[in-house]
Amino acid sequence: MAYSSLFSPNVTPFSSARPINHQLSYHPYLSSTSLQYNNIRREFSVPHVASVPYQPLNVDYLEGEFSGHGVTFEGIGDNCVAKMRLDNGSTATLMLPSGLISSYKVPLWHGGTVELLHTSVSEGDEGEAVIQGGVSLALNSEDDNEASWSPSAWVLRNVRGNSNDSIKVELISSDSENMVETRYIVTLQEDVLTSEISVTNSKSTRLHWTGSIISHLTVSSPEATYALGLEGSNFLSVPPILSNFSIIPPDLDEENDSDIGQLWSQMGLKSLVSGLSQRNQKNASEEEMEGEEDDGYKQLNEKMSRIYTSAPRFFTLIDRGRRNSVAVGRDGFDEMYLFSPGSNHEIYGEYSYICVGQSAMLKPIILGPGEVWRGWQQLHNPNM
């Protein structure tokens, strides 16, 4: 199977003697706007469950400091939601401090709106509401000394834009020594939702970065859902990626309790590669681990968990049941994760979704001292 090269076009050096100016570029679906901002720090984390303790947020402060620009804030327990709304009817809901995008509603050509994201709400051990699904980040970094760090909480840094055109919400997180910084910029435009990551390595050693932007896209049923444009793409069958916001059906969750399945939650690079190699050898006679997609209009009715290593930067998911489609794009990530829970579940139910992830799981992003990496995912609504 062919593997793509490292992400050198997206890795840029910087001088630590002065602040960094990052300029964000966007897909042609978006207007030709850019955002510049100064240096800040951020942190990483891949908890296994969605119930993560956070410090209470001061909603009144956020409302006074950042409201306007088409964004409002609302407290929910110790958490807060930032609600982004454009005049054309597009909305997105971003949860703080987890960084979960729990809703993305888009206008349709006939005047109505439709929710594109799939979420599940359950009760936690202490009676709190636990939200899974949506668009989330599962990130991890490890330096040459095998010191690892993952972001678990995000801090709101800035809100820009307006309800007429576009809204940008910028979050940051950094490790305890402020040596690794990650910024997360969520941009809502009339027909596109962009999730962008920027990672800065201020360490004196190399940084090995792995992770995914994981999106749960709601569908009527996987049986009525098709992926358009993946023909000829190489793939590797893998266990479902586990993150704090993953929705995994009970039958697949039991399978994922295996030692190899837990490698995704551990995120250790050496053990991950070794474990996949062992699984490949063990199951070589049972299933085809590697392959090439031979269907340009692939029905997603069967259980599947794959990482495509040479997929096009943009492809389309078509839901014939809801008569809806979503175009999914990426930049900076060489891999594309695709998961289907299969069709053995109730239609329009808890497991009526397709999971798409822009990832760097099989091959880490390597940042030298003073380098910056950027990558993004876009969900485009072509149905206006």
Is residue 336 pLDDT above 80, yes or no? yes
pLDDT the model gives residue 127: 75
Write 84-87 long-range contacts (CB < 8 A, 24+).
84/167, 84/169, 84/186, 84/188, 85/163, 86/163, 86/164, 86/165, 86/166, 86/167, 86/188, 86/189, 86/190, 87/163, 87/164
Q: Show the tokens assigned to 89.
A: 């009817």
Host H or E run for residue 373 = strand 371-380
pLDDT, mean of residues 255-282: 45
Q: Show the tokens assigned to 33.
A: 């706007």
pLDDT the model gives residue 243: 84
Question: 330: pLDDT confidence band, cut at 50, 70 and 90?
Answer: very high
Is residue 374 pLDDT above 90, yes or no? yes
pLDDT the model gives residue 63: 85
pLDDT the model gives residue 128: 76
> What pLDDT, in 10s, does the model give residues 305-323?
999 999 999 999 999 999 9
> What pLDDT, in 10s, does the model give residues 20-70?
333 333 333 333 222 333 332 223 233 333 444 455 578 888 888 888 889
Q: Higher confidence at residue 275 or residue 116?
A: 116
Instruction: Give percent above pLDDT 70 in the chain.
Output: 76
Question: 130: pLDDT confidence band, cut at 50, 70 and 90?
Answer: confident
Of 18-27, 88-97, 112-121, 164-173, least confident by mean pLDDT is 18-27
Question: 384: pLDDT confidence band, cut at 50, 70 and 90?
Answer: confident
Is residue 217 pLDDT above 70, yes or no? yes
Query: CB-hemisphere CA count at 13 Å for 103?
Result: 16
pLDDT, mean of residues 172-195: 91
**8 A C-beta contact, residue 215 and residue 337:** no
pLDDT, mean of residues 144-172: 91
pLDDT the model gives residue 191: 95
**Percent helix, strand and coil across the chain, each rounded to 5?**
10, 45, 45
The dihedral of CA 51, 56, 61, 65: what is its sign? negative
Burial class (CB in 10 A: 0-12, 13-18, 19+), 109: exposed
pLDDT the model gives residue 31: 33
